[in-house]
């Protein structure tokens, strides 16, 4: 269901930083991201204006869009 629409491909580009994360976050109107610690995007997201870390532990990190 998601692949014909390109959602899975966009997700992989987002996680691997193969596309502009801001454009994908806007495209899907994402306000929160739950990510595994150590993912490239988990290290990059705090550098994107308007995003802040609201939770983290040894396994996961959660970011929220600031409004």
Q: What is the pLDDT of residues 32-48, one digit of tens each?
A: 999 999 999 999 999 99
Q: Above 90 in pLDDT, residue 6? A: no
pLDDT of res. 13: 93
pTM: 0.84
Q: Measured between alpha carbons, how far is 30 from 45 in angstroms, rounded to an integer? A: 12
Query: In sequence order, what are the residues at sequence separation of 6 or more whose Cβ sits closer than 8 angstroms to the Cβ of residue 64?
Result: 31, 32, 51, 52, 54
């Amino acid at each position: 269901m998601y692949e014909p629409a390109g959602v899975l491909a966009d997700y992989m580009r987002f996680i691997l930083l193969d596309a502009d994360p801001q454009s994908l976050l806007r495209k899907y109107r994402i306000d929160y991201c739950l990510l595994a610690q150590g993912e490239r995007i988990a290290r990059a997201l705090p550098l994107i204006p308007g995003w802040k870390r609201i939770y983290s532990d040894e396994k996961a990190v959660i970011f929220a869009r600031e409004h």
